[in-house]
C-alpha cells in the first residue's frame, strides 16, 4: 500500500434529537476535512455519487472547491454513474477540474450502484438501454467520454463561423493532456476488472463484489486485481496501472472511538444486491497494533497501491479527521505508506 485516502458517501439529513445535517453542511465539511487531511499528508479524498438520494450527487463543484483550498491531496470520485452523464459535458468539467488542480483529479466512473428509484437515468433524459440495469448505456457513454478526453475531434468545424471556424473536426475544450491516465473504472467482478484492463484505465474495487464462490472477500478481490493486471499486460498498454480498494477501518484510540466502533468489527458475508449474489467485505475496528496485524493479512490491500477508508461523514470534520490522523500515525506506516510530503508528485499519475 503506497497511498491512502478517504471515501465518503456525503450523506446528509436528520441526525436525531432534532439535529440535521444539511446539504450545505455536508459540502462545507467535505472541504474542511480535505484541508485537514492535506496538511496531514493524506494522499486522497474521494466521493461516491448517488442520484435521487440525500448524498453527494454533483461532484465537480465540490472537487474544484477542494482543489482550490489544498496543495497536494488527490481529489476524486468513487464512482460517477455513467448512466446519468452527458459524456462530452463530463469531459469538459473533468478537464477543467484537472487543470485547476494541477493534475490531481482521479476520476472513478462505472455503471453505478443500485438506486433508490427505477431507471432514474431515464428521468435525466438517457433512454434506450437494453440491459435492465443500464450497463450498456453506461459503457456507451464511457466510450464517448474517453474519446473526448483523448482529444479526438467530435464535431465538424464551421468554415463560415465568425468565431474562427476552419475545417476538419474539433475536440471539446478545455483539454487536459494527462487526464486520460487518471481515469478509473469501478469493477464489481473479475470480468469487468479484465475489461477495464483491456481498455487501459485504472481499477477501483469496492467493499463488495458481485460474485461468490465461498472464499474470503480479500482473496476474491485479489483475484480480481490479478485479472485486471493480466488483461492490461496482454493488451500491451504501457506503464503500470493503479489499483485501489476500499475498506471500513477504524483505529480505536479514544473512548469515543470505542463508543462508536468498539463492537463494529465483523466478518464479511454473502448476500444479494441488484439481483447478483455478492460477497461483502468486513469492517476492521480495533486498537492500532491489532489493525496492523489484520490488515497485513488482507490479500487485496497487499496487492493494491491505494487504500480508501470509507468514513461516516455524518460524524463531522473533527471526528473523521481524527480517524484519518490515527490511521496515518499508528497504522499506515506499517503497511508501507509515506505522507505526500515525503513522496513524489507521481501520486496523481499512472
For the stretch 12-37, what's the b/e string if a residue is b when 16 or more beta carbons lie within 10 angstroms of its beta carbon?
beeeeeeeebeeeebbebbbbbbbbb
- Tell how many helices (H) and how many strands (E) occur in the chain: 11, 16
Closest residue by Cα to residue 113 from 130, 135, 142 = 135
Residue 193, CA distances (Å) to 129, 189, 225, 286 in order: 22, 6, 7, 31
Within 8 A by CB and 6+ apart from 49, the residues are 55, 56, 57, 59, 77, 79, 80, 81, 112
Q: What is the grid cell recorded at 107?
A: 476520476
Alpha carbon distance 8, 328 (integer Å): 17
Strand partners, 202: 184
Contact at 8 Å (CB) between 42 and 323?
Answer: no
DSSP at 263: T
- Collapse the DSSP code of 105 into the 3-class scheme (helix H, G, I; strand E, B; otherwise coil) and give the result: strand
Nearest 5 degrees, angle CA 95-CA 11-CA 85?
35
pTM for the whole thing?
0.92
* pLDDT tens track, the chain, 350 positions: 999 999 999 999 999 888 999 999 999 999 999 999 999 999 999 999 999 999 999 999 999 999 999 999 999 999 999 999 999 999 999 999 999 999 999 999 999 888 899 999 999 999 999 999 999 999 999 999 999 999 999 999 999 998 877 899 999 999 999 999 999 999 989 999 999 999 999 999 987 787 778 888 899 999 999 999 999 999 999 999 999 999 999 999 999 999 888 877 666 566 555 555 567 788 999 999 999 999 999 999 999 999 999 999 999 999 999 999 999 999 999 999 988 866 433 433 33
Q: What is the grid cell recorded at 286?
A: 480495533
Closest residue by Cα to residue 251 from 334, 306, 323 = 323
Q: How many CB atoms lie within 10 A of CB 175?
A: 16
Q: What is the grid cell recorded at 226?
A: 490479478
Contact at 8 Å (CB) between 107 and 80?
Answer: yes
Alpha carbon distance 119, 129 (integer Å): 10
129 φ/ψ angles, rounded to the nearest 5 degrees: -65, 135
Amino acid at each position: 500500500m503506497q497511498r491512502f485516502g478517504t471515501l465518503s458517501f456525503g450523506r446528509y439529513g436528520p441526525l436525531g434529537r432534532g439535529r440535521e445535517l444539511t446539504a450545505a453542511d455536508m459540502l462545507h465539511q467535505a472541504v474542511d476535512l480535505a484541508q485537514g487531511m492535506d496538511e496531514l499528508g493524506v494522499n486522497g479524498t474521494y466521493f461516491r455519487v448517488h442520484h435521487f438520494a440525500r448524498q453527494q450527487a454533483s461532484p465537480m463543484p465540490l472537487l474544484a472547491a477542494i482543489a482550490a483550498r489544498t496543495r497536494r491531496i488527490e481529489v476524486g470520485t468513487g464512482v460517477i454513474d455513467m448512466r446519468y452523464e452527458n459524456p462530452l459535458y463530463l469531459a469538459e468539467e473533468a478537464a477543467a477540474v484537472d487543470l485547476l488542480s494541477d493534475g490531481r483529479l482521479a476520476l472513478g466512473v462505472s455503471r453505478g450502484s443500485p438506486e433508490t428509484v427505477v431507471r432514474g437515468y431515464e428521468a435525466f433524459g438517457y433512454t434506450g438501454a437494453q440491459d435492465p440495469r443500464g450497463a450498456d448505456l453506461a459503457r456507451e457513454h464511457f466510450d464517448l467520454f474517453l474519446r473526448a478526453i483523448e482529444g479526438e475531434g467530435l464535431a465538424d468545424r464551421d468554415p463560415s463561423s465568425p468565431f474562427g471556424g476552419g475545417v476538419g473536426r474539433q475536440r471539446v475544450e478545455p483539454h487536459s493532456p494527462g487526464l486520460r491516465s487518471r481515469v478509473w473504472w469501478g469493477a464489481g467482478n473479475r470480468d469487468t476488472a479484465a475489461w477495464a484492463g483491456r481498455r487501459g484505465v485504472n481499477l477501483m474495487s469496492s467493499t463488495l463484489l458481485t460474485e461468490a464462490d465461498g472464499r474470503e472477500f480479500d482473496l476474491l478481490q485479489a483475484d480480481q486485481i490479478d485479472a485486471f493486471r493480466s488483461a492490461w499486460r496482454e493488451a500491451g498498454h504501457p506503464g503500470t496501472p493503479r489499483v485501489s480498494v476500499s475498506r471500513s477501518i477504524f483505529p480505536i484510540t479514544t473512548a469515543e472511538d470505542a463508543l462508536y466502533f468498539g463492537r463494529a468489527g465483523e466478518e464479511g458475508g454473502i448476500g444479494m444486491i441488484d439481483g447478483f449474489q455478492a460477497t461483502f467485505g468486513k469492517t476492521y475496528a480495533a486498537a492500532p497494533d491489532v489493525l496492523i496485524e489484520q490488515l497485513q493479512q488482507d490479500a487485496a490491500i497487499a496487492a493494491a497501491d491505494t487504500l480508501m477508508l470509507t468514513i461516516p461523514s455524518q460524524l463531522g470534520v473533527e471526528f473523521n479527521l481524527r480517524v484519518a490522523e490515527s490511521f496515518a500515525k499508528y497504522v499506515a506506516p506499517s503497511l508501507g505508506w509515506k505522507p505526500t510530503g515525503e513522496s513524489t508528485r507521481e501520486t496523481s499519475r499512472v
